Each structure stands twice: as structure tokens, then as C-alpha cells.
Amino acid sequence: MFLYEKVMIYRSIITFSAFLMFGCLSDAERDNPLDTQAKNYLPAGKLFGRVTAFYRTDIILSAADISLEPEGRHTLSGTDGTFEFKNLAPGNYTLNCRREGYRPDTVLTEIDAGSKEINFRLNALPYFEQIDLTTHHVSRWWPAEDSYFLRIKTQVRDEDGINEIDSVWFSAPSISFAETLFISNLNGIYEQTITEDQLPVSSLRQLEGKSIFLFCRDLVKNIAVSDELFLPRLIQEVPLQISPSGLETINSFPLTFAWEQVFLPYTFTYKIEIYQVNFGFFSRIREITDISSVQNTYEMATALPAGDYFWLLYVVDEFGDTSSSKEAAFRVQ
């Protein structure tokens, strides 16, 4: 009996311990939403992807800002262009991707308990790297009236390549005027010359103080707008030559060019252009630049072939604006 009683006692203890253990476990509250046995279990999803250039997916875009709504979470694409969001409850989300210099992109997606890949391919925005506006005052014997023209030169960039640029144009909203610029080389240089005859106003001077803008559009219709620009200085003074002029005959060299000195309240230099005349046609054969504003003569030692010539004298300010003299003719024998 003694042995039998001991066995029964041990059996009772084991049964009671099992009852306590399983009773406690069954009564434990499961409140971890990641616990598949919990009453409030929510399956967790994941979003991941990569940010690259629009046309070339081998060009990785790091440091792009990716935001997830409505959660308000943000992350940046890594050095390999990748990003991810973990532990997402099932539902609908809005994923926004932004990077400076690129057109932002937005994706609407639905998340469940699995993983979803969303890749962004951002289109680069065009931009103006350099803009040069210069005015030019032209004085001629014929037609007798002086005229002005505006020269525009800009370098346009696009990280997707210069072939992505569709068009570049100039706009003066105050006079409802716009004009297309033309590409001049493969480095993205666009240029245009606008004369007073092209304007819907009588004089270029009517643009003084008025806003001017440049626009650039790429092939996917992104438009870049320059900062507000204004008409540069209009140089009113016209330099006057002294000699050679009046078809003066030159028999020997060096040849001295002389003019009346110009006095202006800003920094400037002189420039000489020499043209040869053949059967009514002329071609520029020499240009001499950066002549000091304190000079009123320039000596040219290099002889010119026999023939008819004329020269122009320019005043050039520090921004490249110019005012030119009338033609002064001479003959070399």
C-alpha cells in the first residue's frame, strides 16, 4: 500500500502541475499584433524599390526623398538607389518620390501581408546654366537712323541629355512678345538676335525696366523658367573716328587708327574691326579687342594687301554691351 500511495500522490502532483501550466497558458492574453494567434493580429507588409533616371536605369539616383502617406513616413534612397518601408498594415498607400532637379512622381498602391516592389524612374528637369543678354547700338551711314538690337545667348542643361530639349524661347510679357532661340552647337548653346523691327513697339528702349524671361521645354513637356531678367545697359554714345577716313589712301605701315576719346561713367574698352571690300561685298579680316579706354589711337604694324577697306570703332562695357561708329573707309596702295 505504501508504494501504491506514493504513486498516486506523484500522479496527482503531475496532473495538478499540468493543469496549472496549461490553464495559465490558455488564459494568457495575446495582444501582439504581429503574433498570428493574437486576436488583434495584423499581417505586416513591406514596400521596397529603387530610384533611377528616366531614360537610363543604370543611372542610380541616391538621396531621393520617398514619403509614404497616410503614415507620414519618410526615407531617402541609398547610394545604390534603393529604399524600403517595413511593417505596413494592409491598406491603400500613396508613395511620393522627389529629388532636386527632377520631376516628382507619385504612385498609389495597395499593401497586403507580402512584399511589393515599386521602382521610380525620374525625369530630369531642364535648367539654364548661363544667360547672356547684351544690347548693341549700331550707327551707319545708310540707313541714316541709328538702331539697337538685343542679343540673347544661353546654355541649357538637362541631365537626361541635350537631345531631351524640345525648345527654348524668349518672352517679354509686358509687350506680348515671344521669340524662339536656335541651337548653335551640341553643347546646348541657344542664341537669337532681336532687332527693333521685330518688336511690337517702336524702340528697344521701351523694354527698359520691363521683365524678361527665358523658357525651356523638354520632350515630356517639363518647362523651366529663368529668373526675372531685365534689359541691360543701352549705350547711347557713338565713338567718332578721326583717321583713316574719307577713303584716305594708305601708302605705308604701321597704320595708326585715331579717334575722339569717349568719356563714360562706367568701365569700358574699345574694339576695332577692319573689313575688306570686294566688288560691293565686304568681309571682316581683323578684330582688335581690349583697347584701353584711356587710349585714342592704336598702331597696327601688320601690313594689309592693296585694296579698299573700312573700319568700325566700338565702345564695349564690362557686360558686353556695345555701341559702334559709322564706317570709316580707306584705301591701301
Phi, psi at 127, each rounded to 5°: -155, 160
Q: What confidence score (pLDDT) does residue 44 get?
A: 83
Are 331 and 247 spatial neighbours (Cβ–Cβ below 8 Å)? yes
The neighbouring-strand residues paired with 137 are: 148, 323
User: What is the rounded distance in angstroms from the CA atom of residue 114 to the CA atom of residue 48?
Assistant: 11
Quick check: helix, strand or coil at residue 197?
helix
Are 270 and 314 spatial neighbours (Cβ–Cβ below 8 Å)? yes
pLDDT tens for each residue of 7-42: 444 455 445 444 444 444 444 555 554 444 555 546
pTM of the model: 0.77
Q: How many residues does the chain have?
A: 333
Are 255 and 247 spatial neighbours (Cβ–Cβ below 8 Å)? no
Which residues of the chain register pLDDT less than 70? 1-43
Task: Tell whether the torsion through CA atoms of 70, 73, 75 and 81 is positive or negative.
Answer: negative
Domains of the chain: 45-122 (2.60.40.10), 127-230 (2.60.40), 241-332 (2.60.40.10)
Of 37, 48, 141, which is closest to residue 93 (Cα–Cα)? 48
pLDDT tens for each residue of 267-309: 999 999 999 999 989 999 999 999 999 999 999 999 999 999 9
Of 70, 60, 69, which is closest to residue 99 (Cα–Cα)? 60
